Amino acid sequence: MAETEHNVIIGTGVAGNRAAETLRERDPDCRITIITLGSLHFYNRYSLPKVFQGCDDWRQLLVHPPSYYEENRITLRRNTRVINVDAKRRAVTFAHNEEMHYDQILVCSGGRGYLPEGLSDFAGLMHRFTSFEDAMVIRRLLPAGGRVILLGGDMIGLDLARTFVETGYDVTLVANDFTFWPHEVARQDRGTYEKALTNMGIEVHRGGRILGVEEGGEGKPARRVVFADGEVLDGDVVLPFFGLVPAVEFMLGSGVDIERGILVNPHLCSTDDHIWAAGDVCQIWSPEKNTYRFYYGWNNVRDMGEAAARNMTGAGEPFANGGGEDLRLDKNGRLLSPFWDHD
C-alpha cells in the first residue's frame, strides 16, 4: 500500500471511529480523515438518557479525549457536510464547495429519525432526540414530575422512557407498529411485550389514528395529542420514535447500489471497489437469508466499522453478526433487548 493512501471516513459515530482506530493499527502510515456534520467530538449516544439524570456536560460522555485524534494522526473535520461522492474521480464534495480526493472511502453516516408523513405537519410541536443538544432542550422543557408522550416507541425511545420513569417523570407511550423497532414482534406477542412496558412503569396507550399534535390549552401542559376518535392526551413534551432511515442522500450520484441503505457484500464493500460502508447506513448481503439486511446495536455497528477497516487493508474477512436479536423479559417481567447492550 502506498504511504500516502488516503482513507476518508464519513461519520464520527461508533462505526467510523472504530474503523479509524483499526485503520491506524493496521497501517501506521496512511492518511485518515473523518468528516462529520456534527460539532461535538464522538460521544456515546446510548448514554444520552444520563442527561435526565443530571449530566449536563457532554464531555462526560466522550469516548475518546479530544487529543486522541491528533495523537493518532487522524484529521477530524467537524461541521462539514458531504453533499456528493464522485466515484469516477474519487472525490467527495462538501457543502461549502471544497473537494477532497480519496483512495478509499468508508461511509458510516448512520441514520436519522423517521417521521411518518401524516405527522410531519406537526414536526415543530414535537422534539427530536438525536443529540446531546436535543436532550438538553427536552430537559429544560420538562417540569419536575412532568409527562412525556412518546409516539411510536422504537427501542431508542423505550430506552429513554425507562430513564424518564426512573427519574420521576410520567411516560405515556402511544403504541403502534413501530413500537419495539428494529425488533420484529409478531402480532400475537405484542400484548406480552406491551405488558412488560407496563411493568416498567410506562403507561401504554393503544390509541387509534393520531389526528395531530397541538399546543396545550390555558393552564394545561404544553402539548396535546389529538386522536381521530376525539380522545386527547395531555403532556409536556411529545417525542416521535419511529425508527431510523439511513443517511444516504449524498451517495445518490455515486453510482453505487442503494436500496434503503448502501448495499454491501459480506466484506462491507459496495458495488464500487473503492467505496465501503458500515453501521446503520448499510444493508449487508446475508447468504443465509438470501437478502440484504440491516444489523443494529452498538456492538454490531462497532464490529462492522472494524471489519470494513480490516478489509480495506486487505484482510478479506466477512462481517460476523454478534447475534442475539430477540426481545426478552427479565425475571420481573420487564423488557430486555440486545439493542440496549454495549460493552
Q: 67: helix, coil or strand?
A: helix
Among 43, 298, 306, 312, binds ligand FAD (CB under 6 A): 298
Residue among 335, 303, 15 at smallest CA distance from 165: 335
| 36 touching ligand FAD, by CB under 6 A | yes
| 327 touching ligand FAD, by CB under 6 A | no
Nearer CB in complex with ligand FAD: 11/235: 11
| 108 touching ligand FAD, by CB under 6 A | yes
Distance of closest approach, residue 334 Cβ to ligand FAD, in angstroms: 16
Look-up: residue for cell 497501517? 27
Show Cβ contacts of residue 90 under 8 Å, excluding neighbours closer than 6 positions.
Answer: 101, 102, 103, 105, 274
Which range in 56-64, 103-111, 214-222, 235-243 contacts ligand FAD by CB under 6 A?
A: 103-111
| 280 touching ligand FAD, by CB under 6 A | yes
Q: At what angle do helices 298-312 and 14-26 cross, to 10 degrees?
A: 30
Among 183, 297, 306, 312, binds ligand FAD (CB under 6 A): 297
C-alpha angle with apex 108: 105 to 112, nearest 5 degrees? 140
| 10 touching ligand FAD, by CB under 6 A | yes
Q: How far apart are CA 311 and CA 305, in angstroms?
A: 10
| 241 touching ligand FAD, by CB under 6 A | no
- Measured from the Cβ of residue 34, the count of other Cβ atoms closer than 10 Å reads 24
Distance of closest approach, residue 168 Cβ to ligand FAD, in angstroms: 21
Show Cβ contacts of residue 32 under 8 Å, excluding neighbours closer than 6 positions.
Answer: 7, 9, 20, 23, 24, 72, 73, 74, 75
Which range in 37-45, 52-60, 119-127, 191-199 contacts ligand FAD by CB under 6 A?
A: 37-45
| 296 touching ligand FAD, by CB under 6 A | yes
Q: How far apart are CA 230 and CA 337, in angstroms?
A: 35
| 153 touching ligand FAD, by CB under 6 A | no
Q: How far apart are CA 38 and CA 167, in angstroms?
A: 28
Nearer CB in complex with ligand FAD: 13/240: 13
Among 7, 9, 12, 241, binds ligand FAD (CB under 6 A): 12
Residues that bind ligand FAD (CB under 6 A): 10-16, 35-38, 45-46, 48, 81-82, 108-110, 129-130, 156, 159, 247, 250, 279-281, 296-298, 301, 339-340
